Structure 1
Amino acid sequence: MTSYHTLIQRIKRKPVQAARHVVQAGFTLFMLYVGWQFYRFYLHFESMGIEPYVERPAAVEGFLPISALVAVKAWISTGYFDMIHPAGLVLLLFFVTSGIFLKKTFCSWMCPVGTISEGLGRLSQKLFRKTFEPPKWLQYVLYPLKYLLLLFFIKGILIDMPGFVALQFLDSPYNRVSDVKMMLFFIDMSRTALKIILVLILLSMFVKNFWCRFLCPYGAMIGLGSLFRITGIKREPSSCINCDNCTRVCPQGIKVSDQGCVFTPECTACMQCVEACPIPSTLEMTIARKKVNKWVAPAVFFTAFFGVVGLAKLLGIWETAMTYEEFRELVPFAKEIGH
């Protein structure tokens, strides 16, 4: 009974965090379901029709950011909207645009990798009572890594790749089964890949949000929207008691207590700092320099997200244009198909 009352009090104290964790868990479970459905879709073709057919879930294309970036290049250069993996392109465009107005809300509310990373950090906190914060000099070395990775992809694809090459890639057998190849990578993982993932898991346990903070190029791309300085977390110095609660709870290691307004691309609009502040109205989200309720960012994000997905379905740019016959020809040989 005591633990129940403690839980209720915690939810009342931090309602946004309670909602965020429920949403994170829900989307992670949904993506596991998507993965399972896609595996069953693959098995149908891999077994030459022996296993029952299952509709391919378009949401799996959210895990194909490189293909989506090539599709952006083709769309900008030629006006061609990729219909091989259209959902991937729609999702990339939406998430990057959302970063301009709502910071990296995707990262703190929806991304399954971010959820797992955050969960590993909480597990470590329970087991070892603390997490390791890299020294300043090491953080300065680590922070640029994700931007260098992002620069590599932007230069290689958006800048250097000719439009006709982007079109050729999108129509290639490799791209047509890139979702299958991505799944097979995780099912039949090499020892090297497994070791790298295990290292990242360990690092995420001992360094808060290691992957998200230092290595994720997708999050880095979304975070660039913060450079427009439309959305921020404003601190009121006159009422601040310098308790540093905001800085301690920040999953990105931002020194919130030292800033007048947080505009950094690292901020994910998770609202942990806002709810950790003991003094009302000392930390608040601002959009276009106007203070808004702490529920605004997630409410607008998810309203826009479901609206965009619904519109994409109505416009016929959500489901792939690939036919059953094309899948039957390519999927069984996905392992052998190269660039």
Structure 2
Amino acid sequence: MKSKAWHVRQFKRKPIQYVRMSVQIVFSIFLLYVGFRFFQFYNHFASLGIEPYVERPAAVEGFLPVSALVALKVWIFTGEFDHIHPAGLLLFTFFIGSGLLFRKTFCSWICPIGTLSEWTARLGKMIFRKNFDIPKWISWLLIPLKYLLLLFFIKIIVIDMPIDFAWDFLQEPYNKVSDVKMLLFFLNLGGFALKVILVVFILSLFFPNFWCRYLCPYGALIGLGTIFGVTKIERNEDTCIDCRQCTRVCPQRIKVHEKMAVLTPDCTACMSCVEACPVKDTLNMTVATKKVNKWIIPSVFFGLFVLMIIIAKLTGNWNTNITYKEFLELIPYIDRIGH
């Protein structure tokens, strides 16, 4: 039997986690760039053309999940594709559908909130020398919150909203500038919203991924695709040495060492547990019960993600059909639109 020290050395070899962190950093920088370009776009119209014009980055629509959910409903029931926020609809549909095969890869690799939550937990570990676990009974009380939030949106949009009303909503001025509304919300953050963000940030310092684990309805919706169990982490009990390293490294605090297969919707396919396991073929990612290389899931996810964007651009289903003239009529008077 190999020594315990040998196992510890193996735990330090984490190439996929270095790649994942690099992707998180690069994607975060890209989103900051998108945000800056979008601000410049907004500033041109808000200044009535005094500031230089910058083309609106379509990627900003990824931050409009409510509008995208309405658009998805209209698309499914009428066949009418939303060209107000087409990129938002495609991104939302892709990320939700990806849960079936890739679990919550979106959450652990490119979601900006997921990245911020994970890095906040690392900061907390640096400050307090460790992260903390919420008592199990409190955790069980908190887990339903994200599903209740998800149920709220499903009820008011998918169940209660008439299809004609949903179509009208997509054409309304409010929806057309909902991305600008979102920008102004973050630029003028304060009051109750700021307090909530500060509370979640402080909790995340102590308890890893607090928002993702207990409050995120978007992640909850993506996670529903995992209930079919097409993709999962499987553990070989015969070769497991019960070192519990898989559980220690899991950002979602899943008790991997206790499970034959990780079927929980909270698994984000980050591969931390697979990479941390010191015994070959004890923890494996499987697709339809077939073992696959740990790089397959993120690689195929990103391959399809890029392919989807390329096809959308080539077919004219990526950029909005809102004209320059419409933006000029709406953005300078945005305070009068909606709430």
Aligning the two structures, in what range does the TM-score lie when normalised by the shorter sequence? Answer: over 0.9
2:337 aligned residue: 337
Segments of structure 1 that go 5 or more residues without pairing to the other structure are 1-8
Q: 2:258 corresponds to which letter in structure 1? A: D
Runs of 4+ aligned residues of structure 1 deviating over 2 Å after TM superposition are: 9-12
1:177 aligned residue: 177
User: Distance in 2 between the 1:309 and 1:338 partners?
Assistant: 31
User: Distance in 1 between the 2:10 and 2:234 partners?
Assistant: 24
User: Distance in 2 between the 1:190 and 1:181 partners?
Assistant: 15
Segments of structure 2 that go 5 or more residues without pairing to the other structure are 1-8
2:162 aligned residue: 162
User: How far did 1:334 drift?
Assistant: 1.4
| TM-score, scaled to structure 1 | 0.96
Is 1:69–1:89's contact at 8 Å kept on the other side of the alignment?
yes
* SS across alignment from 1:334: helix
* SS across alignment from 1:270: coil
User: Distance in 2 between the 1:110 and 1:244 partners?
Assistant: 27
User: How far did 1:11 drift?
Assistant: 10
User: How far did 1:54 drift?
Assistant: 0.1
1:139 aligned residue: 139
User: Distance in 2 between the 1:132 and 1:253 partners?
Assistant: 10
Is 1:103–1:231's contact at 8 Å kept on the other side of the alignment?
yes
Is 2:64–2:88's contact at 8 Å kept on the other side of the alignment?
yes
User: Any residues of structure 2 matched to 1:40-189 within 5 Å, and which?
Assistant: 40-189=40-189
Check if 1:277 corresponds to 2:285. no
Using the TM superposition, name which of 281-290 and 327-336 deviates more: 327-336
User: How far did 1:281 drift?
Assistant: 1.0
User: Distance in 2 between the 1:161 and 1:73 partners?
Assistant: 10
Superimposed CA distance per residue, residues 197-239 of structure 1 (whole angstroms, 9 cap, x where no aligned partner): 1111111111110000000000000010101110000100000
Is 1:246–1:273's contact at 8 Å kept on the other side of the alignment?
yes
User: How far did 1:161 drift?
Assistant: 0.8
2:3 aligned residue: none
Q: What is the Cα-based RMSD across aligned positions, in Å?
A: 1.2
| TM-score, scaled to structure 2 | 0.96
User: How far did 1:78 drift?
Assistant: 1.8
Is 1:11–1:18's contact at 8 Å kept on the other side of the alignment?
no
User: Any residues of structure 2 matched to 1:154-233 within 5 Å, and which?
Assistant: 154-233=154-233
User: How far did 1:131 drift?
Assistant: 1.6
* SS across alignment from 1:53: coil
* SS across alignment from 2:189: coil
User: Distance in 2 between the 1:327 and 1:274 partners?
Assistant: 49
User: Distance in 1 between the 2:283 and 2:179 partners?
Assistant: 42
**Matched length:** 331
Is 1:28–1:112's contact at 8 Å kept on the other side of the alignment?
yes
